[in-house]
């Protein structure tokens, strides 16, 4: 009689297990929240801007580099300063923000550009170099960063880590930094990950941690 | 129906019927519970079932397997892939370094990784999770991974991308009951997707939450497919197996940089051979103050974070 009861318990137990498994597999397919299609632009390796050197390499529009298409060659421009001694930019034919260095330390055109030859850059030691070779000019002040850049520690690289198998490509300083306002620009973030489980509550829940913190 | 007899004594008609009914119900239940295995008919052939462990596969056998994968991918997605079985290079140990001062949390690396490595698009599988961390703390409990401001970085936060740390003492490898995952000579912990039984022990063991499980068949369209594939790398995975960052084996074992590094707009990611004293990562480990995540676990990651100016 005892073995009979054990048999019943066994079969019932087994049945429960089987039914649970079967329901798990068929009866309740879990819902997956919809996601926006993948953004293939993320895989691109282009830089946030184009350096002067790259523009020349790519045969792009270099009119911005032809200073003497507007300026007179034998009439070096004078700087217009405001009451605080800061440069007035309105005069200039194209708009840009000048924000280089803490406390406006490097906001004088002729600390980098040569006054008598606007198409050349002037290194701290006075030597003139073409605009397309600007990296070394940046290195004149940002020595440690330049050292890191030279050995691939600072800045973007692509291609091959193994020089025996292929070339490595390194980007110019101005492929990421605008020399006139070098801080790296803010970007719109790529899409957040799909939620793990159906979301409960308000959409803003995820930022709660930050508000508490 | 004649009365049946058993060694333990006579069995009357009623008890026989009752037991038969139990047995029949039991058999039906077994059949029902096994029925989903029918779905696997397409996925698993007898050859697959009887194959050897990766480390015992002869080169000729691997050729056959690669040809089969090529065929299957072409059949499934209409794209003919180039599948290779890339081995670790001699004298190479890979290390990743990530400059937290540079990272702006844009998640470009996350999506570049998905595109490179043929991850399922829905349900979405991603190998990299970027954590938005309040300034002044390393407490990941205070982080958020679904931040979505207009632009990043946000004032008052820094961003810490987390992915497989390619540990020297990988807990995931230790717990795998079938040796479907192991650490290769170049320091990459790999998974043989065809050997994985889907027990998810490794997923539970990983303190970095690096491993992902394919609850359903990965959804990939023909346009999504990256045809440059490696056996232990980004070939499409079946349902029911675990996957994770493998440092882009299909690229890095061929000398190239990983996809996340190339895509990163800020150059925050560095990767290379730590055994080469002139590599970027060797210099970083020498010159910068690097740290590893959850050092107290003794996992000894090959993934280093640092800040610089
Ligand atoms: S792409 Fe670069 S900057 Fe953007 S989140 Fe990834 S590591 Fe950070």
For B190-234, how does the pLDDT look when each residue is reduced to its tens digit (9 = 90+)?
Answer: 999 999 999 999 999 999 999 999 998 999 999 999 999 999 999
Cβ partners under 8 Å of residue B22, min gap 6 = A7, A8, A11
pLDDT over 90 for what percent of chain B? 81
Q: Does B215 touch chain A (CB under 8 A)?
A: yes
Q: Which atom of ligand 1 is nearest to the CA of B269?
A: 7
Residue in the block written with tokens 């957040």: A192
pLDDT tier at A206 (50, 70, 90 boundaries)?
Answer: very low
The structural domains of chain B, ordered by start, are: 1-50 (no CATH), 88-309 (3.30.70.20)
pLDDT given for residue A37 in this prediction:
65
What domain count does chain A have? 1
Q: Which of B138, B257, B268, B283 to mutate to test the interface with A (most CBs of A within 10 A)?
A: B257
pLDDT given for residue A202 in this prediction:
44
Cβ partners under 8 Å of residue A185, min gap 6 = A48
pLDDT tier at B78 (50, 70, 90 boundaries)?
Answer: very high
CA distance A78 to A69: 17
The CA-based angle B125-B189-B121, given to 5 degrees, is 10
pLDDT given for residue A210 in this prediction:
37
pLDDT tens-place string over residues B150-174: 999 999 999 999 999 999 999 999 9
Measured by CA distance, the residue closest to atom 2 of ligand 1 is: B264
| Average pLDDT for chain B | 92
Residue B125: CB atoms within 10 Å? 22
pLDDT given for residue B128 in this prediction:
98
Residue B189's φ and ψ, nearest 5 degrees, are -85, 120
Of A24-33, A175-184, A203-212, B5-14, give the range with the top mean pLDDT. Answer: A175-184
Question: How far is it between the farthest Cα atoms of chain A?
Answer: 117
Tell me whether residue A39 is in a domain. no
Mean pLDDT for the stretch of residues B31-57? 75
Residue in the block written with tokens 């029949």: B24
Q: Are B77 and A160 in contact (CB under 8 A)?
A: no
Of A68-77, B38-47, B261-270, give the range with the top mean pLDDT. Answer: B261-270
pLDDT over 90 for what percent of chain A? 54
Measured by CA distance, the residue closest to atom 6 of ligand 1 is: B109
pLDDT given for residue B21 in this prediction:
84
User: With an 8 Å Cβ cutoff, are A190 and B108 in contact?
Assistant: yes
pLDDT given for residue B43 in this prediction:
58
Residue B258 Cβ contacting ligand 1 at under 6 Å: no
Measured by CA distance, the residue closest to atom 3 of ligand 1 is: B103
How far apart are the CA of A47 and the nearest CA of chain B, in angstroms?
6
| pLDDT at residue B39 tops 80 | no
| pLDDT at residue B7 tops 60 | no
Mean pLDDT for the stretch of residues B64-92? 96
Token pair in block for residue A151: 């050995």
A73 vs B257 pLDDT, higher one? B257
Q: Does A44 touch chain B (CB under 8 A)?
A: yes
| pLDDT at residue A91 tops 80 | no
Mean pLDDT for the stretch of residues A137-153? 96
Residue A54's φ and ψ, nearest 5 degrees, are -65, -40
pLDDT given for residue B28 in this prediction:
80
User: With an 8 Å Cβ cutoff, are B19 and A7 in contact?
Assistant: yes
Mean pLDDT for the stretch of residues A163-169? 96
What's the gap in Å between B26 CA and the centre of ligand 1? 56
Mean pLDDT for the stretch of residues A89-96? 66
Residue B161 Cβ contacting ligand 1 at under 6 Å: yes
CA distance B32 to B116: 40
How far apart are the CA of A208 and the nearest CA of chain B, in angstroms?
9
B175 vs B50 pLDDT, higher one? B175
Tell me whether residue A17 is in a domain. no
Tell me whether residue A183 is in a domain. no
Tell me whether residue A124 is in a domain. yes
Contacts of A30 in chain B (CB under 8 A): 215
pLDDT given for residue B122 in this prediction:
87
What's the gap in Å between A190 CA and the centre of ligand 1? 10
Q: Are B195 and B65 in contact (CB under 8 A)?
A: no
Tell me whether residue A79 is in a domain. yes
Q: Does B163 touch chain A (CB under 8 A)?
A: no
pLDDT given for residue B1 in this prediction:
47
Tell me whether residue A34 is in a domain. no
Domain that holds residue A53: 49-175
User: Which residue(s) pair with B304 in the sheet?
Assistant: B97
pLDDT given for residue B271 in this prediction:
98
Tell me whether residue A156 is in a domain. yes
How far apart are the CA of A32 and the nearest CA of chain B, in angstroms?
6
Mean pLDDT for the stretch of residues A118-135? 94
pLDDT given for residue A33 in this prediction:
61
* Nearest beta carbon to residue A154 from set B109, B110, B267: B267
Q: Which atom of ligand 1 is nearest to the CA of B128?
A: 6
Q: Which of B182, B188, B173, B177 is nearest to B245 (CA)?
A: B188
Residue B208 Cβ contacting ligand 1 at under 6 Å: no
Tell me whether residue A204 is in a domain. no
User: With an 8 Å Cβ cutoff, are A161 and B272 in contact?
Assistant: yes
| Average pLDDT for chain A | 84
- ipTM score for this prediction: 0.84
B74 vs B5 pLDDT, higher one? B74
pLDDT tens-place string over residues A52-85: 999 999 999 988 888 888 888 888 888 888 888 8
What's the gap in Å between A165 CA and the centre of ligand 1? 26
Q: Are B220 and B238 in contact (CB under 8 A)?
A: no
Q: Is B108 exposed, middle or buried (0-12, 13-18, 19+ CB in 10 A)?
A: buried
Mean pLDDT for the stretch of residues B107-113? 97
What's the gap in Å between B52 CA and the centre of ligand 1? 40
Token pair in block for residue B155: 């004032």
């Amino acid at each position: 009689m005892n073995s009979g009861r054990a048999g019943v318990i066994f079969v019932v137990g087994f049945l429960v297990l089987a039914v649970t498994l079967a329901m798990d597999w068929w009866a309740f397919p879990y819902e997956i929240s919809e996601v926006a299609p993948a953004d293939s632009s993320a895989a691109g390796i282009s830089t946030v801007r184009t350096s002067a050197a790259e523009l020349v390499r790519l045969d792009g529009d270099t009119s911005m580099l032809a200073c003497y298409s507007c300026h007179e060659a034998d009439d070096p421009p004078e700087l217009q300063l405001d009451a605080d001694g800061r440069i007035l930019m309105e005069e200039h034919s194209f708009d840009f923000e000048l924000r280089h260095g803490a406390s406006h330390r490097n906001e004088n055109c002729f600390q980098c550009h040569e006054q008598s030859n606007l198409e050349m850059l002037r290194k701290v030691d006075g030597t003139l170099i073409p605009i397309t070779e600007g990296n070394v000019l940046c290195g004149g002040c940002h020595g440690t960063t330049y050292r890191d850049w030279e050995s691939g520690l600072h800045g973007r690289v692509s291609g091959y880590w193994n020089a025996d198998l292929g070339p490595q490509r390194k980007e110019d300083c101005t492929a990421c930094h605008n020399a006139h306002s070098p801080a790296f620009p803010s970007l719109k973030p790529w899409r957040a990950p799909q939620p793990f489980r159906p979301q409960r509550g308000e959409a803003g829940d995820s930022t709660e941690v930050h508000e508490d913190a | 129906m004649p009365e049946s007899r058993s060694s333990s004594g006579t069995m009357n008609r009623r008890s026989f019927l009752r037991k038969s009914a139990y047995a029949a119900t039991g058999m039906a239940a077994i059949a029902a519970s096994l029925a989903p295995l029918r779905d696997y008919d397409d996925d698993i052939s007898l050859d697959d079932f009887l194959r050897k462990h990766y480390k015992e596969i002869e080169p000729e056998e691997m050729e056959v397997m690669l040809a089969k994968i090529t065929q299957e991918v072409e059949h499934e997605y209409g794209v003919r892939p180039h599948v290779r079985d890339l081995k670790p290079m001699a004298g190479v140990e890979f290390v990743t370094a990530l400059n937290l001062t540079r990272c702006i949390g844009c998640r470009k690396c996350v999506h570049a990784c998905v595109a490179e490595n043929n991850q399922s698009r829905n349900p979405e599988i991603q190998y990299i999770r970027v954590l938005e961390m309040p300034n002044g703390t390393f407490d990941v409990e205070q982080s958020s991974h679904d931040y979505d401001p207009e632009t990043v970085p946000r004032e008052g936060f820094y961003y810490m991308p987390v992915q497989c740390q390619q540990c020297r003492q990988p807990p995931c490898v230790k717990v795998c009951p079938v040796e479907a995952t192991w650490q290769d000579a170049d320091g990459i912990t790999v998974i043989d997707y065809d050997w994985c039984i889907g027990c998810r022990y490794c997923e539970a063991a990983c303190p970095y939450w690096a491993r992902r499980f394919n609850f359903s068949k990965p959804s990939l369209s023909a346009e999504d497919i990256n045809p440059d594939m490696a056996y232990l790398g980004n070939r499409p995975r079946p349902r029911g197996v675990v996957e994770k960052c493998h440092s882009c084996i299909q690229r890095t074992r061929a000398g190239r940089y990983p996809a996340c590094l190339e895509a990163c707009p800020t150059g925050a990611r560095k990767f290379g051979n730590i055994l080469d004293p002139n590599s970027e990562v060797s210099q970083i480990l020498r010159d910068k103050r690097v740290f590893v995540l959850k050092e107290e676990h003794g996992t000894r990651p090959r993934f280093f974070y640092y800040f610089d100016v």
